[in-house]
Amino acid sequence: MSLTIDELAMPDALDGPGGHAFAEYAALCNDVESHTLGTDLLVMGPQEMLSEYVSTPTRVRRHLVARDGAALIGRAMITTRPLTPEAGAHLMVDVLPIHRRRGVGTALLAAAEAAATDVGAPVLKVAVAHSVRDGGERVEPPTGFGDLPADDPGVRFLQAHGYALEQVSRISLLAADRLRAGRSPEAPDLEDDYGLLAWAGPTPDEWVDQLAALRTRMSTDAPSAGMVAVVDPWDGDRVREHDDRIASSGRTVLTTVARHASSGVLAGFTEIVVSAGDAVAVQEDTLVVSDHRGRRLGMRLKRANADQLVAAFPAVEAVVTWNAEENRPMLDVNEQLGFREVGREAGWQKHVHRDVAARNG
């Protein structure tokens, strides 16, 4: 094997310079995930992937490609956040199944780790998809929620390279027939002190600042288990940049928020991202601020947003989402709506540069 690892230059557009190389990169990402999960329902189009994989003012993303001669056989992505360097770096490594156990993954991971530590990342985080398989020896995170097969290739690979399993998340799918079943008996009408507002596309100006505040809360309120988590600040400009980037990729964000009538503040929100013509929509963030919990707002928000999805995109066949196994309240909501498990995603972590982490802490 003649292995080379080079950085991939991100194109401005798929039909411009570098567009073909990125489309090849996107196809590899999809092939690996489809093989792992046993379904191609989660395949992401190259235009959508390009919009997610570019750098933004608040995150830097670098991409490495591994080739055997001219053949693309693996890739790595390194994500760092210049405004919150203490959060560390997120790494992703994928190798086509037929090229595994030849040192390609090890070489890509080493290159990705070097890129992260060169900019002072104090901790390295890896998110890996795993198939659902019961029985045999299991590996659990310290939380005790969720587990993985000890002989899973991803488990063996990351343990061999010094990573610790910190969190297991459930990948769940909601089929279209459940989406169209209408309001469930578990979703009663809102109390008089809360009202739901919904929109499709960019955030209306009147809600930009409040949505930014909710997104900031999401960065620390969402369960993180043992993963290093820091406040990820959002402001109006960041909300608009996010909305514009999603729209430019041909996707639509469907948002439903709960407004507390007495105070006028937004008590929670939920979002679904969908592309016209795609079979599967993606359930993104859902948050109910702690002061407003215990009123089934999570269920109400998700049910209302699912109704919005069915009305606006009747061809959608399913919705996919990710939830930490320790997030039992949100899993309860999803199970009542009809979501079923199709895979697992694990959060792995390795500490480096502890002196840097101590200075930033």
Residue 356: pLDDT above 60? no
Residue 232, amino acid: D
Which secondary-structure segment (H or E) carries 104? helix 104-118
Fold agreement (3-169+347-360, 174-344): yes
**Helix and strand totals (H; E) in the chain:** 10, 14
pLDDT, average across residues 152-170: 96
* pLDDT at 270 > cutoff 90: yes
Q: Residue 233 pLDDT more than 60?
A: yes
Task: Please list, in sequence order, all residues whose beta carbon lies within 8 angstroms of the beta carbon of residue 206, skipping any fewer than 6 positions away.
Answer: none
pTM of the prediction? 0.90
Contact criterion met (CB below 8 Å) for 3 and 104: yes
Q: Does CATH place domain 3-169+347-360 in 3.40.630.30? A: yes
Contacts 24+ apart (CB under 8 A), 291-296: 291/267, 292/194, 292/258, 292/260, 292/267, 292/268, 293/329, 295/191, 295/194, 296/186, 296/187, 296/188
How do the domains of the chain map onto residue ranges? 3-169+347-360, 174-344
**Chosen CATH of 174-344 out of 3.30.470.10, 3.40.50.2030, 3.30.420.40, 3.40.630.30:** 3.40.630.30
How does pLDDT run across 73-119, given as a tens digit for each residue?
A: 999 999 999 999 999 999 999 999 999 999 999 999 999 999 999 99
pLDDT of residue 361: 42
Q: Report helix, strand or coil for 343.
A: strand
For residue range 283-341, list pLDDT tens digits in order.
999 999 988 988 889 999 999 999 999 999 999 999 999 999 999 999 999 999 999 99
Helix (H) or strand (E) holding 257: strand 251-260
Residue 130, pLDDT above cutoff 90: no
pLDDT band at 184; cut points 50, 70, 90: very low
* The pLDDT of residue 353: 57
pLDDT at 95: 97
Checking if the pLDDT of 357 tops 60, the result is no
| CA–CA distance, 13 with 121 (Å, rounded to integer) | 30
Give every CB contact of residue 214 below 8 A, 6+ residues apart in sequence: 266, 268, 269, 287, 289
Residue 41: band (very low, low, confident or very high) from pLDDT cuts 50, 70, 90: confident
What three-state secondary structure class fits 291? helix
Q: Higher model confidence: residue 182 or residue 166?
A: 166
For residue 229, give both structure tokens.
């988590």
Mean pLDDT of the chain: 92
Task: Report residue 192's pLDDT band, with 50, 70 and 90 as the boundaries.
Answer: low
Strand 60-68 with 71-80, pairing: antiparallel
State percent of the chain over pLDDT 70.
Answer: 94
How much of the chain, in percent, has pLDDT values that exceed 90? Answer: 82
Mean pLDDT, residues 43-50: 93
